[in-house]
Structure 1
Amino acid sequence: MQQAVVVRSAAGRACGRPASVKSSDAARAVADAAISRRSVLLGLAGGVASLTSSTNGARAAGPTPADLVRPLVQKMDENGDGFLDVDEIRGAMQRNGGVTVPRETVIRDVMAPVDFDDDGMISVDEFSRGLALELEVDERWMRTMERDGQPGVSLEELQAGLGDLGQTGNDVLPVAFKLADKDRNGRLDPEEAESAMQLISAGIMGDFGEDDE
């Protein structure tokens, strides 16, 4: 039987983490989280690249970034129940990145930020969307996101391509888009899109810096 794991999302739901953290501890947690998540992604990077390159420029019916990552994440789901527990994620990190991360770190920094529906469980779909936030913005990424035939990524395309990122994502994404759209033309070129994704990832995945003192 799968052990239930209660996690906390980036928006601030309950978990086993102390209610108050020092700013230095929060900063360390953000760095650890980025390294932990990226260690998973880097281990999957070859597969992601090959999947992305197979889109052949299809737009309207093409896959989203999360769709590209999902088949690889499904391999982490060893019992095939559609959810990832802490041991499945730790195992994937060790196999792919050669790192052994404490269980509490995985729960806090890797799992909690992607509990987009706040149900205390991490689905394959949620983890796929979370990892998709870490993908490099390149020509393949742009081709996947551009769906209306126009160059550049609109706000609507970005929202559709990233999928449901929870309430925090709904709040962060339009603000990040506006900040990244330097020429104010309503579409993101690759450089602007990279900036937007960094802002979105930090806003959604790195929100461990709340000081509750």
Structure 2
Amino acid sequence: MRRPITQYAKSGEVHIAYQVTGSGPRDLIWVPGFVSHLDLMWDWPVYVHMFERLGSFSRLIRFDKRGTGMSDRVSIATLEERMDDVRSVMDAADSEKAAIFGVSEGGPMSLLFAATYPERTSALILYGAFAKRLWSPDYPIGVPELDRQAYLNLISQSWSGEADLSIVAPSFSNDIDVSERWAAYRRMCASPGAALDIGNRGRSSELRFTKLDLFDTCRTCLEKPA
């Protein structure tokens, strides 16, 4: 698959980078997780394989969230503003209705979009997502505050060094080459401040819906320690 042209949608005064691949009969909006970089993802065969598979049955529309990748490096803004970036991308890509695929930190945005624009949502898919990040008595699967703060401290202290893949990709955690490549990739995705901003925003997200949530049990950052 040839690397697609990066285009830009205007969401207010913010430019949101997006790419369109595939030619299937339905539109699929990929709402990325923590950080992303549209162009550099094509350097990773695992991503290319996934995009080719999704594009075999859909018109796949992917974007970099504001503050990350090739979108404007602005402050992360509110969940409502970030959610509306999805609508702006759909408008720019001439997508009237689409299945929304929210990954990890992109889950709350996807949930809110589906609730706000049901007429433009044909389906909602969540992977590794969460309705609420932190533990509370009525949400026992959440992450304790101390563990969450330790993760944010790790971002702050290690953004310039090797990436700790034990959280997001345990099978590669001992592969130095992959760790170094991933560390360089994420530095291109976002600055340390932007990464921390996203992490802190995720702490305060709380959405209540009836939903089915699928996630990889190896994603240790979504598990409450025993």
TM-score of the two chains, using structure 2 as the length reference: 0.28
The structure where helix makes up a greater share of residues is 1
The structure where strand makes up a greater share of residues is 2
TM-score of the two chains, using structure 1 as the length reference: 0.29
Greater RCO (Cα-Cα under 8 Å, separation 6 or more): 1
